[in-house]
Structure 1
Amino acid sequence: MAASKFRRPGWSRRAQYSLFFSFVALAAGLALGFVLLAISVVAPRTFDGLRGAATDATRPAAEGLASIGATVGGIFTGAGNYWDAANQNATLKEQRDRLRRQALAAMALERENEQLKAALELRERTVDTVATGRIIGSSHDSVRRFAVLSAGRSNGVRNGMPVRSPDGLIGRVVASGSYSSRILLISDRSAIVPARILRSGEPIISRGLGDGNVDLRPLEVGRNPFEPGDIIVTSGTGGLYPPRVPVARVVRLDDDGAVAVPMATPAQSSIAIVMSPFEPAALAPYEAPLDEAEGAVAPDVAQ
């Protein structure tokens, strides 16, 4: 007959002893627990030393667990702070770019207002103004130097009329359409402007170099009358260009002349004024003095 699967412990003395001592240990543990609980209630400070020893024994483990917790918490906190800093940085960059765009727009508006004000004052001073327009294009890299003005025949613009801006002379009209005109700049190789040195009043000739600059030559050969920084203005000689209009500023001297940069360029002057060609006043007819006229007539009267 096979042994029962659920065999009672009474069949084995060792099992009986194990079960007995287990009950005894459990009863002793419960009794000790009740005794310790009673002592802790009646005299709470009795186990202070034991508690301190237990705390000292568990200190390394507690410190290690605290360090691990602080490290994990620091990682999550640092990640959160980094994310917040990244968002704040992106927001600040966006604000900076917006403020920069606003500043550039304000600067452009201020510059345009200055040009409009200068053009208005120039138009008030200039009685022979034909039209006012904007420079809407120019040949920057080409050897030939031209600009396009937003004023044409419908505004009274004709070929040969001088064009200037508040900064100085730009050139002259060489082709005019109904609503736009083509301007030959003073820096073009075919542009010649009779001028003077503002400092000394000496007459000179300005000729374009085709690279954005102008070449200055004196009428008197043999000496160089220019100085760096000299301002060149139109002389009015020969007509077309009115006198005392700024032309260029000397930047470099050579053997018998100088190289200058125009005072007004299409890139800097968005507003231009078309003027009537300058016509020097004709010489008044010679009138003989009164005594000479009487002397001439006296013989006829005597006769």
Structure 2
Amino acid sequence: MKTLFVRGPSLLSRLVLALACSFLLMFIDHRLQAMQPVRLFLNSLVTPVQYLAILPEQILDNFSDSIKTQEQLAEENEQLRQQLLKQQGQLQQFRLLANENKRLRELLGSEQRVPNRRMVAEVIAVASEPFSQQLVINKGTLSGVYEGQAVLDNRGIIGQVQDVGSNTARVLLISDQSHAIPLRSERNDIRVLAQGTGEIGRLQLMFVPHSSELKEGDLLLSSGLGGVYPEGYPVAKIRKINRDESLPFAQVQADPVSALDRVRNVLLLWQNDDERQPIYEDQPDG
């Protein structure tokens, strides 16, 4: 007698099969980048959803800005004027130093440094993964953004591009546990390696010997090693040094110079010797 319901594979067999397929897909994607077009398509697909998600916040921000009194606006305008005046004075000094540096490099026969190309982007979402610290910005491949690109804000380096869609990109912050960046001390040029701790405002310096001349308060700049980040941009300040001789290395904690939990606008950098260059919206075709 035939049964009404045919019994299929057991739940354990289905679980094993699903896990095997998952590991196979991850291996193929890791080795051959076979899923890159799929990720690009999905990133483009969720872009409207991301814009809709931040729409209420933008409406509230615009409303709060609109109810500012005329007195507050006048005060802010005066502060901005004073700040602009100070920055213009600093700019004049920087131009003088740049010209002097150019002449010295010409005398020494050294290659001149050309400023990197840049583009401003806006943060439209914060990644919701509990063990990953990432941002989503409103620039993608259509703007020339690429994986591994350096990302800054008005204070210093905040991370690098990890995934790119056509109109959006995902930025991995320097505080993420999977991120590391080579740095040097501004005071004495000691090279160190900073790794994220998983805390939004904390970095840890790796493999620092007890005899190191680093001090609390030292400013750490990007060293340019590795080719990801350009040299000389601020990254972090040393907050605490623990020279416990019972440990193989000194325990050094540093705080990012940027407020990573309050970033709203970022700056994308393109190396001048890189074939990839920014694509601006008003750039003419051809």
Please tell me the TM-score bracket, short chain as reference: 0.5 to 0.7
Cα shift at 1:107: 5.5
- Provide the C-alpha distance between the structure 1 equivalents of 2:125 and 2:236, rounded to a whole number of angstroms: 21
Structure 2 residue 264 is matched with structure 1 residue 275: no
Which AA in structure 1 matches 2:228? L
Opposite residue 201 of structure 1, the aligned amino acid is D
SS of 1:154 mapped into structure 2: helix
Aligned-residue offset at 1:130:
4.6
Aligned to 2:181: 193
Structure 1 residues 227 and 106, CA, compared in 2 at 3 Å: closer, same or farther? Answer: same
Whether the aligned pair in 1 keeps the contact of 2:127 and 2:136 (CA below 8 Å) is no
Please say if 1:245 is aligned against 2:233. Answer: yes
Q: Which amino acid aligns with 2:255?
A: V
Which residue among 78, 96, 115 is the counterpart of 1:127?
A: 115
Give, as a single letter, the amino acid of the residue that structure 2 aligns with 1:168. Answer: G
1:266/1:107 CA distance change after superposition, 3 Å: farther
Query: Is residue 211 of structure 2 the alignment partner of residue 217 of structure 1?
Result: no
1:103 CA drift (Å):
3.7
Q: 1:46 maps to what in 2?
A: none
Deviations 1:137-167 (A, max 9, x none): 3248833110111111111001111111120
Contact 1:239 1:278 in 2 (8 A): no
- Contact 1:240 / 1:278 at 8 angstroms: preserved in 2? no
**Equivalent position of 1:65 in the other structure:** none
Deviation for aligned residue 1:264: 1.7
Alpha-carbon shift at residue 278 of structure 1 (Å)? 8.1
- Post-superposition offset of 1:241: 0.6
Matches within 5 A, 1:1-303: 103=72, 127-139=115-127, 142-212=130-200, 213-217=202-206, 221-255=209-243, 256-276=250-270
Q: Which whole-Å deviations, capped at 9, do the CAs of 1:18-71 have from their partners, x for residues lacking one?
A: xxxxxxxxxxxxxxxxxxxxxxxxxxxxxxxxxxxxxxxxxxxxxxxxxxxxxx
The 3 A distance-change label for structure 1 pair 134 and 109 is: farther
* 8 Å CA contact retained: 2:150, 2:161: yes
Q: Partners in 2 of 1:189 and 1:168 — Cα distance?
A: 19
Alignment partner of 2:224: what SS?
Answer: coil
For residue 257 of structure 1, give the secondary structure of its aligned residue in structure 2: strand
Structure number with the higher helix fraction is 1
Deviation at 1:196, TM superposition (A): 0.4
Question: C-alpha deviations, 1:75-130, integer Å up to 9, x for none?
Answer: xxxxxxxxxxxxxxxxxxxxxxx77797499769978xx89xx9xx9xxx973325
Aligned AA for 1:167?
Answer: R
| Structure with higher RCO (Cα < 8 A, 6+ apart) | 2
Deviation, structure 1 residue 202: 0.4
Shift of residue 182, structure 1, vs aligned partner = 0.4
| Counterpart amino acid of residue 180 in structure 1 | T
Consecutive unaligned residues of structure 1, counting only runs of 5 or more, are 1-97, 281-303
Distance 1:223 1:265 in 2: 31
Q: Is the 8 A contact 2:190 2:214 kept in 1?
A: no
- Count of residues in Structure 1 that have an aligned counterpart in Structure 2: 176
Distance 1:268 1:206 in 2: 21
Relative to structure 1, is the Cα distance of residues 99 and 145 closer, same or farther in structure 2, using a 3 angstrom cutoff?
closer
Deviation at 1:225, TM superposition (A): 3.0
Structure number, greater radius of gyration: 1
Within 2, Cα distance between the matches of 1:254 and 1:152?
Answer: 42
